[in-house]
Structures are given as C-alpha cells and as structure tokens.
Amino acid sequence: MANDIFANVLYVFVAVVFGTWLLWDAAFFHLASFVPYTEYWEHTAVFVEWMQNLSAPGNPHVDDPGLSSRFMPYFWALTYVGLLFQLDPIELMGVSAVVNFVLIAFGLHRFLNDYFHDSWAPVVGLFAIFLLWGVSVTWPNLYQLRSFFYVAGYPSTFVFGLSLVSFSVVIRLMRTEESLFIHTILLLALSALMFLCHPLTAIFGLVGCGLLALTEPADSRQRRELVIVSLVLGTAVAELWPYFSAWKILLGLYGEGGEVWAGFTSLDPIGRLTSGAWKNSFYDPKLLLTVMGPALLGVPLCFWLWRRDERKFIVWGAVLMSIPYLVNLLFEIPSAHQFLLFVTVFLQLAVVCGILTVIDAWQTEPRSSLATPTLLSVITFILALAGFNIWMLSIEFDNRTFSPQTLKVVERKSRLPEGMNVVDVYKRLTERMDYSDVVLTTVELGWPLPTVKGKVVSLYRDNPMLESQAERYAATAYFFYNRVTAATRSGIAKQYGATHVLTSIDDKAITRGVYEWLQQHARLSASVGDFRMYRLLASAYAAAPEEPVKQKLSSPGASKPAARRSEIKPSRPVTLPIAPTAAPAGDADELDYGAPIATPIVEPITEAPEEEFVRESVEEALPEELLAPLDERTDVPEAMPENAPPESFGAPIGDPVLDPERHGG
C-alpha cells in the first residue's frame, strides 16, 4: 500500500512540475509563436474566423467560403471560452495546451493502471512518452519534451489524450459489470469526437480500442462485439457534424484529393519503389535512429513479447501502425510518416512493459549484491535522459535548437527581429490595414497573417476543402517568382482583390520586377526588420488583362525536395490573368502545391524582356526610398486612393458555408 501511494505521489509531482512549466509558457512566453511556418497558425486562424463569424464562418486564411477541417467540436467549445473571457487566439492555444496535457496525464494514469495492474506503470509511462526519444523534430504526435511545447495545443494532441482515455474505457467495459451503459455511451461519444477532431490520430485511438477488444480478457464475447459496434457507430455519428465530413477528409475525397486516391489503383508499385520513394528523409535510417533513439529498445522487446505470447495489444499495435508507413514505399499514402510516430508510442509501451517486468522479477528474487549498483545505474540513466531533454527545451527559449540532422546547436531560422515574436511583427505590419483587406504575399509570409488581421491569397499548407487552392498557389508563384509582365501582376492582384502586398527583402528569389511594379503601383505602409508591407494604388488594376487565359499546370515530380512535396498533385486547367507578350508561351508549367508550400519552383510561362531576371541582393538593386524604414519616409499617404474597392472573387463571409454536398448549399 505504501509503495502504491509513493508511486501515485511521484506521478502527480512529476506531472505538476511539467505542467507548471507548460502553464508558464501558455500564459506568458508562447514559444510556438516564435516560429512562423508551423501548423500553429492554421489553428489560430480558425479561432479568429470563428470568433468573428461564429454562425457562418468562411475560410480561415483566404476570402473564400471554402471551410477547413479544423472547424471541429473541440475548437468550437474553445471559441466560446474565448468569447466569454475575452481571450485572443494565442491565449486560446495556451488554454488548449494546458487542457491537452491534463487530458494526457489523466488518460495515461487511468489506462496504464488498468492495463498493467501496477501502480508504477503510470510513472514509467510518463517517463517513456515524454523523455524516451532521441533528438526530436517538431511534428504533431511527437511528444518529446521539446516538441510537446510546440504541439501541445494541437487537435492531434487532444485526440491522443482522448485515445488514452478511450483505452481505459474499453478495458473497464470488458472487465466490469458496473456502469455498462455509461461506458458504452462514453465510448461512442469518444470515438465520434476523436474522428471529428483529427481523423489521422483517431486511427491510432480507434485501432487501439479495437485491439484491446480483441486481445484483452473479457467477461463475454458480447462485450467485445459491444466495443466494436460502439466504435463503428461513433464514426457514423460523426457524419452529423455540419461543417465537414471526417470520412471525406480521411479518404481524400474533398477537392482534388479524390484524384490522388483514384491514382493509387493505376500506380506501378515497382515503379514507385525504383523511383526513389525510399530516399525520403522519413526512411533515412540515420535520421530515424536519431529521432527515435532509446525508444527503439521497444523493437526487441516486442519480439520478446510475441515469443511469450503476451501483451498482444502492444505487439499488434506496433505492427498495424507500421503498415501504412511501409506500404507508402509502393503506394503513396498521405501523411504516412505520421504512422511512424504511432509505432513509436507502442514501442515505448513495450519498454514500459520490460521495465515493469524487471521490477517484478527483482521483488520476487531480491539480489542484494546488485541492488546498489543497479539502483545507481537506473537513477543516472533517468537523470541523464531528463537533463538532456530539459536542456534541448531550454535552448528553444533562446531562439536556438539542437538539430537532428547535424547534431549541433543552431540558430532557429525564424527571420524575426530580435525580441519579437510573429504576432508582434504582424501587428506592426498590419497596423494601417482593415480586417477586410487581402494581402498578396508569398505562401510563407502569409501563413501567420490572418491570425492578426486580414486575409491572404494563397495557403502554406494544403486545405482540401478549398477548391481554388491550385489557382491561388499558381497565382502567388507567378507574381513573385516568375518573369512576367506588369500587366500579369496587375491581373493577379485584381483577380484576388488584393489591397496590399507583403514582401521580405531577405527572400532573394523574389524577382526584381516585383519591386519595380510596387514602386509604380504601391506605397510603403509598414516596415519591420526585413518585412515590407505595401498598400496598392488604383493604378495597380488599370493594366490588368481583360480576359484570363487558361493554362495547364502539372506536378513537377521530383524537382522539389521530397520533404516539401504536396500530397495533392492534380493536372488540370486553371485560370490565371496572363497578359500576352511577344514571346510565345512554352510548355505547361510544372507546379507543385500543397502542404507545406515553402519553396515554389515555377518555370516562366511568359517572357517579359523588359523585366530582367536577377537574383542579386535586392537591397543593392532597388531604389533607397523603396526599402527605407517607415519612420524615414515622408511620402506615405494617410488615406486609401480614390478608387472603387477591388473586386473579390471569394463569396461573402456571411453567406451560409456548410458543406453544400451534404446540406443543400
């Protein structure tokens, strides 16, 4: 009894210490807000849109009625919390982070206690989930101490916590007679909520629940069937959610995703394997060893459990989660690398099982001569691993990171002015903007902007519910990275109702023609560090071509880095306002777009001899007045020019925006 009490007290103590650090970050520092190009800004933009248009939201990032799969029940509830307590999106993500950690801590304690029947299991499990890693990267579903501070508020983290709670509910449903009806309803609700909030992570939770139903002791066969039926009904009930279909998201049936899945049947698996799919960094043995680290101890332990015919839930969980990751070598599976992280969780559970087995054996047959050195070795290992993880997290607060590729401490490449986070920068950039303004900028620069003010033209990450994402990405790439005429740039600005243009002088890939066009058709509105916000004049739309020209865009195959490639690669005509030039258009552009779109690689489709393509420093090539800080300029107009507002091609935000295929438009 005393041993059980000590184990529970230790678990609570460690969880409170960790939670206090997370609470401090959530309330004051906001570490995730110092990195511009993460999923974090996808979630904060949803809060902004929902808080402004709760009954009929539009797209969180662009002026378009197309929704997002992030409009899910958990964020809906948090939005009401934000409205009630006057919290901004960054504060709401902090609330989400704390709630998710509490949910994981609660679920981990309940599940491991019920599964192992050992009071030390939760303590060892908490150690394994958060510390038993190598040098991690910042991915959703990777819960190493350093990574967790970035992803703690994500819906995937919320669903991971729900999964642990669901595992406990399944075990209790099969083994006890008490509260059978309540446990059944609870499991049905949990399965629906998991499936809606993050379908990919829900696969981990639902498959885990099914494995527990099939492999763990049960009072009767009917109990196993009851679990399976509850899980299936939960995913069916999820279809009642009005904002999107979780099944269509999971199967890639929104927008152009169906074309990808349809292509699986005709894809040559040998051709994909020989084409170099295995060269992706997610299959690099060195990187896997670096990231997974001591969690790989679970591999031999899984074989050991399999030979002993024990803990089938752990063994088969690791096997099933590895299947999509391995099959992706032959048939492309979106987000297949995420399943490697689910495999890691089962490997960590195998390590927990191994440690508990050693503890039990030691208690059964004490070895006094080995007690002291063994205890010292275990304590040293735990302290060393904890110290390493704490050190990796602590340097993140100093704008540095320990790279898994080089195993060196490097500066984090955020390109932000010293001492400012993303929100600070974008508040200054958008100070003179209205909330209805649309900013034409690169997909990277535009990703955090809607969290603060306004909308952008193109997305940094795929949203299959946005049907125009191909055109928007193409237009952005043409505007900034192609040798096109000034008329084409004017046409793009007009087509998407752009009122402002945002650039960074640090981006050397932006063509000189962009700045020459801005010098003629825009005025500097704000300047922060390397960032420049320009307000467009009426003349920006005067030279736009009358009729857009259809151009065919296709996937570039391997021309883009593998880690940056899209999961959606259609080949179909899109409409862009290409102005005719003396030089005829060449072959169709090979254009990749998707999640994330960080390095557009677009060959020019038109030639504009008057715009020389240069890649030298723009600071040297451009007039000084164009790059001057805002406080040094005297010619910045105080008011917008006298022209009619540019035409916006997105539907009004106030229009009903529920899924038209499922709710009649």
Residues 6 or more apart whose CB falls under 8 angstroms from that of 311 comprise 305, 350, 353
pLDDT band at 330 (very low <50, low <70, confident <90, very high): confident
Which is nearest to 184 in space by CA: 204, 213, 160, 156?
Answer: 213
Which is nearest to 212 in space by CA: 201, 200, 223?
Answer: 223
CA distance 455 to 311: 51
What tokens appear for 625 in the block?
Answer: 């007045």
CA distance 484 to 504: 20
Model confidence, pTM = 0.84
Q: Which of 199-213, 274-288, 364-378, 458-472 has the lowest mean pLDDT?
A: 364-378
Q: Which of 115-119, 271-275, 602-606, 612-616 has the highest average model confidence (pLDDT)?
A: 115-119
Q: Which residue has the tokens 């040998």?
A: 270
Q: Which of 91-105, 205-219, 316-330, 369-383 has the lowest mean pLDDT?
A: 369-383
pLDDT band at 575 (very low <50, low <70, confident <90, very high): low
Percent pLDDT > 90 in the chain is 63
- The stretch 459-465 carries a mean pLDDT of 91
If you count them, how many residues does the chain have?
A: 665
Which is nearest to 100 in space by CA: 129, 123, 121, 136?
Answer: 129
Residue 472 belongs to what H/E stretch?
helix 469-481
- pLDDT, tens digit, for every residue of 19-41? 999 999 999 999 999 999 899 99
Residue 577 has a pLDDT of: 64
Q: Which of 64-68, 250-254, 543-547, 626-630 has the highest average model confidence (pLDDT)?
A: 64-68
Residue 578 has a pLDDT of: 58
Q: Which of 198-202, 308-312, 557-561 has the lowest mean pLDDT?
A: 557-561
- The stretch 435-443 carries a mean pLDDT of 96
pLDDT band at 271 (very low <50, low <70, confident <90, very high): confident
- pLDDT, tens digit, for every residue of 348-394? 999 999 999 988 887 777 776 776 787 788 889 989 999 999 999 99
Residue 393 has a pLDDT of: 96
Neighbours of 371 (CB within 10 A): 11
**Residue-wise over 213-252: b if at least 16 C-beta within 10 A, else e?**
bebbebeeeebbebbeebbeebbebbeebebbbbebbbeb
Q: Which residue has the tokens 């949803």?
A: 46
**Residue-wise over 19-57: b if at least 16 C-beta within 10 A, else e?**
beebeebbeeebbbbbbbbbbbbbbbbbbbbbbeeeeeb
- pLDDT, tens digit, for every residue of 283-310? 889 999 999 999 999 999 999 999 999 9
Residue 95 has a pLDDT of: 98
- pLDDT, tens digit, for every residue of 115-161? 999 999 999 999 999 999 999 888 899 999 999 999 999 999 999 99
pLDDT band at 551 (very low <50, low <70, confident <90, very high): low
CA distance 594 to 572: 15
627 three-state secondary structure: helix
CA distance 439 to 565: 25
Residue 280 has a pLDDT of: 78
- The stretch 200-204 carries a mean pLDDT of 96
Residue 576 has a pLDDT of: 60
Hey, where are the domains in the chain? 1-24+102-133+155-250, 252-365, 370-414, 422-632
Q: Which of 231-235, 285-289, 485-489, 506-510 has the highest average model confidence (pLDDT)?
A: 231-235
Residue 294 has a pLDDT of: 95
Does residue 631 have a pLDDT over 70? Answer: no
Strand order in the sheet with 500-504: 455-456, 438-441, 500-504, 531-536, 522-528
What is the overall mean pLDDT for the chain?
Answer: 83
Does residue 637 have a pLDDT over 50? Answer: no
Burial of 85 (0-12, 13-18, 19+ CB in 10 A): exposed
pLDDT band at 548 (very low <50, low <70, confident <90, very high): low
Neighbours of 386 (CB within 10 A): 15
CA distance 283 to 272: 14
DSSP string across 367-435: -HHHHHHHHHHHHHHHHHHHHHHHHHHHHHTTTEEE-TTT-SEEE----PPTT--HHHHHHHHTTT--T
Does residue 564 have a pLDDT over 90? Answer: no
Does residue 331 have a pLDDT over 90? Answer: no
Q: Which of 50-54, 333-337, 574-578, 651-655 has the lowest mean pLDDT?
A: 651-655
Preceding peptide of 404 cis, ω within 30°: no
CA dihedral over 161, 168, 334, 257, signed as positive or negative: negative
Residue 225 has a pLDDT of: 94
Neighbours of 5 (CB within 10 A): 10
Q: Which of 97-101, 359-363, 608-612, 621-625 has the lowest mean pLDDT?
A: 608-612
483 contacts 513 by C-beta, under 8 angstroms: yes
